[in-house]
Structure 1
Amino acid sequence: MLYVQILINGILLGGLYACIAVGFSLVWGVLNVINILHGSFIVLGAYLAFFAYTGLGIHPYLFAPFAALVLFMLGYAVQLTVINRVIEAPVLVTLTTTFGLALLLDNLMLVVFAANFRKVSLKPPLGVIDLSDTFPSIDLIVPVDRLASMLFALVFVALLYWLLRHTVVGRAIVAVRMDRYAATLMGVDTTKVFAVTFALGAALAGAAGALLSPIFPISPLAGTTYLGKAFVICVLGGLGSVSGALVGGLVLGVLESFGALFFGPEHSLTLSFTVLILLLIFRPNGIMGKRGFV
């Protein structure tokens, strides 16, 4: 039963990881921008949820759409005013630009929020679902907060999938992802598409931060950890696929859960990047990498 319990924990964590990575993969795939700012957006979303809960009493799960909206507007403004000016530059230039923006945002959060770790402590706590109460032979528990966070995260991932498949804006994003120059010739305004895409990535990061806030401590310096996980998930699942981000997140969640059992939780990030290196060597396209973003 121990391994089944660890598998359940990994799946619950993996659903959250998918929401962390799908926005990062979207921006990278469409804009060809490695958005180092993504992890800082996640942390900012978590802080917004923390203060909404402690100051206004708004539950983090209910606040997640509002966090997504705030980060959408911030991402739209950042892309139009800064990143759009270097969008045609080599990848190293855009990488350096987003790195500088991440440093700026991290230091602003340090000044405003201080470096103390904070965490949303739900009152009353959501508790756990003890399956042995219903099935005496099954000694398994499911933390309700992680289950709820995973389900809300999957809703956001599904909404992105629907948007890309069934809306005009989504089809424009997919067209630009496949061939931006052909899309321009067909009348697509790539400047607006880039801004909306970057904003969507920021919105998903903000929502993920809000959903993570009841589970993990919040610190202005935690963005690097989430960014690293987004990198690994994109390589695992394959850049350019919502389903790939979902599969990659689930795989990473399960790997980290079993890795914590066998090697200790302090080595989870080491294990993640070991898998990253192996995949880059043997399967650089990832598990479900494909052209387009659906």
Structure 2
Amino acid sequence: MDLLAQVLANGILLGGLYAVMALGLALVWGVLNIVNLAHGSFIMLGAYCSWHLFHYLHIDPFLGLPITAVLMFVLGYGVQRGLLNLIVRAPMFNTLLLTFGLDVVLTYLAQLAFSADFRAINPAYAGNQVHWGPMVLPVVRLGAFAVALALTFGMWLFLLHTRLGRAIRATAQNLVAARLHGVEPRHLYALTFAIGIALAGTAGGLYGTVSQINPYIGASLTLKSFAIAIIGGLDNPLGVLVGGLFLGVVEALTTLYVGPTFVDVASFGILALVLIVRPTGLLGRTA
């Protein structure tokens, strides 16, 4: 029983990180209708940004997250305004091709800039743990989980209760009506994509504290984010959180009872089941 409790706790903490990884992808996909295949590469760039802030400027990885988010926001705004706005309402195949090419470019530029060596963000408290009953909880993972909760609920409140958030939701629901109410789509699309990339960069900073990073982690992170966004639902940040927690627990239980080799089988098996039973996601709105 103690082992099961520990495994479930590990799965929940991992699921919080998964949720942050998928938030940006779900936002961009839901509003811009762009399946960003370069999403994992932006997470990777955020991880390297946090690593440089920690390694060279000695900024705590959690305190450096706002800096990483701002830098990634600027990058995301430029990419959307200068490149992706050209195909934002094009057929899905065009956006897939462009973002796939962007993913390849970012991956190889990262390899040239940072080499293919594995790196990790290891603050002085990286080995500290909190004992809660029979469970041992790493401090770094607890911190990442707390940031995940804060970002998810913050994004939910932002979309519901701010002027920009309401404009983003209105554009996602009805572009023509949003135009009639004074929304300028090109600028709003760029802001939306920039927010999504800022979230991806933040997820990368958190990922670097709990796992090793290299230029080639992007593809697997994109697939994981894609699965979580679909399982939770694209139109609800809380759904993404639920999807991330659900997937984290499923993977933890699969590792315990079946073996780590079958983790991806379980993850994408759950994805297929959700697509069959509830295509809008666990908390997505039905038609």
Asked if the contact 1:240/1:291 (under 8 Å) is kept, the reply is no
Q: Deviations over 1:254-273 (max 9, x none)?
A: 01111111222232122111
Q: Give how far 1:281 is off.
A: 1.8
Q: Give how far 1:126 is off.
A: 4.5
* 1:159 corresponding residue in structure 2: 154
Asked if the contact 1:12/1:147 (under 8 Å) is kept, the reply is yes
Q: What does residue range 42-191 of structure 1 map to in structure 2 within 5 Å?
A: 42-131=43-132, 138-191=133-186
* 2:33 corresponding residue in structure 1: 32
2-side partners of 1:291 and 1:163: how far apart? 22
TM-score (norm 2): 0.96
2-side partners of 1:191 and 1:101: how far apart? 20
Asked if the contact 1:46/1:206 (under 8 Å) is kept, the reply is yes
2-side partners of 1:3 and 1:226: how far apart? 26
Q: What does residue range 230-241 of structure 1 map to in structure 2 within 5 Å?
A: 230-241=225-236
1-side partners of 2:260 and 2:114: how far apart? 27
2-side partners of 1:154 and 1:140: how far apart? 20
2-side partners of 1:109 and 1:98: how far apart? 16
TM-score (norm 1): 0.94
What is the aligned-residue RMSD (CA, Å)? Answer: 1.4
* Structure 1 segments unaligned to the other structure (5+ residues): 132-137
1-side partners of 2:286 and 2:73: how far apart? 25
Q: Deviations over 1:164-186 (max 9, x none)?
A: 12211111001001111211122
1-side partners of 2:7 and 2:275: how far apart? 27
Q: Which moved more, 1:117-126 or 1:14-23?
A: 117-126
Q: Which of 249, 255, 261 is matched with 2:250 structurally? A: 255
Q: Deviations over 1:210-265 (max 9, x none)?
A: 01111010011101111111111111111211111010011011011111112222
Asked if the contact 1:238/1:287 (under 8 Å) is kept, the reply is yes
1-side partners of 2:209 and 2:230: how far apart? 28
Q: Deviations over 1:99-118 (max 9, x none)?
A: 11111001100111111111
**Which residue identity does 1:285 align to in structure 2?**
T
1-side partners of 2:136 and 2:205: how far apart? 24
Aligned to 2:212, the other structure's residue is in SS state: coil
* 1:274 corresponding residue in structure 2: 269
2-side partners of 1:203 and 1:226: how far apart? 16
Asked if the contact 1:23/1:204 (under 8 Å) is kept, the reply is yes
Asked if the contact 2:126/2:139 (under 8 Å) is kept, the reply is no
Q: Deviations over 1:106-133 (max 9, x none)?
A: 11001111111111122243511123xx
Aligned to 1:60, the other structure's residue is in SS state: coil
Q: Give how far 1:3 is off.
A: 1.0
**Which residue identity does 1:99 align to in structure 2?**
F
Asked if the contact 2:156/2:236 (under 8 Å) is kept, the reply is no
Segments ≥4 residues shifted beyond 6 Å: none
Asked if the contact 1:153/1:211 (under 8 Å) is kept, the reply is no
Q: Deviations over 1:4-31 (max 9, x none)?
A: 1111111111111111111100000000
Q: Which moved more, 1:274-283 or 1:210-219?
A: 274-283
1-side partners of 2:74 and 2:286: how far apart? 28
1-side partners of 2:126 and 2:224: how far apart? 27
Q: What does residue range 5-20 of structure 1 map to in structure 2 within 5 Å?
A: 5-20=6-21
Asked if the contact 2:5/2:134 (under 8 Å) is kept, the reply is no
**Which residue identity does 2:89 align to in structure 1?**
E
* 1:264 corresponding residue in structure 2: 259
Q: Deviations over 1:131-153 (max 9, x none)?
A: 3xxxxxx3221111100111012
Query: Percent identity at matched positions?
Result: 43
1-side partners of 2:123 and 2:260: how far apart? 25
**Which residue identity does 1:194 align to in structure 2?**
Y
* 1:135 corresponding residue in structure 2: none
**Which residue identity does 1:286 align to in structure 2?**
G
